[in-house]
Amino acid sequence: MRRVSLTQYLVEQQRKQGIVSAELRLLIEVVARACKSISNAISKGALAGVLGGAGSDNIQGEAQKKLDVIANDVLVEANEWGGHLAAMASEEMDLPLSIPNRYPKGEYLLVYDPLDGSSNIDVNVSVGTIFSVLRCPEGVVEPDEKAFLQAGSKQVAAGFAVYGPATILVLTVGNGTVGFTLDREMGSWIMTEEKIEIPVDTKEFAINMSNARNWTPPIKRYIDECIAGSTGPRGKDFNMRWVASMVADVYRILSRGGVFMYPVDAKHTGGRLRLLYEANPMAFIVEQAGGAAINGPQRIMDVQPEKLHQRQGVILGSKNEVELVGRYYSESK
């Protein structure tokens, strides 16, 4: 089998006119390199003293773990000097970070969740990093929050790393979804999935069942029907999985299908996951793999963001299943 590295893949995409610019290629390589370093820190665990709380809160009032802060710093340091970014924004930073004046500025905006699944760090369950790339709006020299408020359909690239038994990088530049595995000895990302395709049907759903009493009628209806199994209206038995790390749940769905849901409910009235650095990049990746991603009534990538850290309902995965949930939303109006 031909070993295709991430660099080689990106160069090939660059040669196919208009798909990846030299600057975007640099950006993706820099983020991927930062993910290697985060993967390394995570794999050392208690030996490197990286577990536990940081003793601070982020803007959303969530207690930061040491690794949330470490991963954020790694991504900032890796991305600020290369000349490929105009600004970056993160779950762990209140406001966007402009590129310091001593460095050249590029045409892209990077927005990321440095460590997804933080509650799983201390219990040795997979966590990850999610990122989305936007273009800096024309004429904007000092990008502020407003520059980032672009619909997901404007993304030029998105990806996530999952630090699991193997460290994997999933990427889309708008030309399908591809997967790379980190070869630790060589220190390089090697393509292991050339064209990820999510099966359109599934018998597996992922939702935090402890929120059941707060669900809206369409979600309750969908899950009740799944649970009713072969004797219910679906006529087949379903299985349930919930890792509580979106990266791991989405990777499973990319691998064998399924539907992942963190919908708007009576407790999470605006949703739980963040639009710009969780919902949008995952929606882009999933759609590019033949799946679908909605917030309930609407396609996620059509949502016009109003705030940098705004939340969103998320239902994504196998196309037929997501469409069925969408139908239940329109029928419950």
Q: Point out which residues bind Mn ion (CB under 5 A).
A: 91, 113, 115-116
173 and 157 Cβ atoms separated by less than 8 Å = yes
Question: Is residue 117 a contact residue for ligand AHG (CB under 6 A)?
Answer: yes
The nearest distance, CB 25 to Mn ion, in angstroms, is 26
Question: Is residue 312 a contact residue for ligand AHG (CB under 6 A)?
Answer: no
Burial of residue 230, with CB atoms counted within 10 A of its CB: 0-12 exposed, 13-18 middle, 19 or more buried: exposed
Question: Is residue 118 a contact residue for ligand AHG (CB under 6 A)?
Answer: yes
Per-residue tokens: 258 = 């399924």
Strands (E) located in 73-176 = 85-90, 97-98, 108-116, 127-135, 157-163, 167-172
Question: Is residue 295 a contact residue for ligand AHG (CB under 6 A)?
Answer: no
Question: Is residue 280 a contact residue for ligand AHG (CB under 6 A)?
Answer: no
Q: Which of 43, 208, 298, 330 binds ligand AHG (CB under 6 A)?
A: 208
Of 117 and 258, CB closest to Mn ion: 117
Q: Which does 171 bind (CB under 5 to 8 A by kind): Mn ion, ligand AHG, none?
A: none
- Within 10 A of 183 (CB to CB), how many other CB atoms are there? 15
Q: Which does 119 bind (CB under 5 to 8 A by kind): ligand AHG, Mn ion, none?
A: ligand AHG
Question: Is residue 125 a contact residue for ligand AHG (CB under 6 A)?
Answer: no
Q: Which of 39, 79, 90, 245 binds ligand AHG (CB under 6 A)?
A: 245
Q: Which does 321 bind (CB under 5 to 8 A by kind): ligand AHG, Mn ion, none?
A: none
The nearest distance, CB 162 to ligand AHG, in angstroms, is 11
Q: Three-state DSSP class for 157? A: strand
Of 113 and 287, CB closest to ligand AHG: 113
Cα–Cα distance list, 215 to 126, 183, 199, 207 (Å): 27, 42, 26, 11
37 and 60 Cβ atoms separated by less than 8 Å = no
**Considering only CA atoms, which of 218, 221, 289, 280 is closest in space to residue 252?**
289
Q: Which does 140 bind (CB under 5 to 8 A by kind): Mn ion, ligand AHG, none?
A: none
Residue with tokens 């409910």: 265
Q: Which positions ≥6 away from 329 have C-beta within 8 Å?
A: 218, 294, 296, 297
The nearest distance, CB 265 to Mn ion, in angstroms, is 18
Q: Which does 150 bind (CB under 5 to 8 A by kind): ligand AHG, Mn ion, none?
A: none
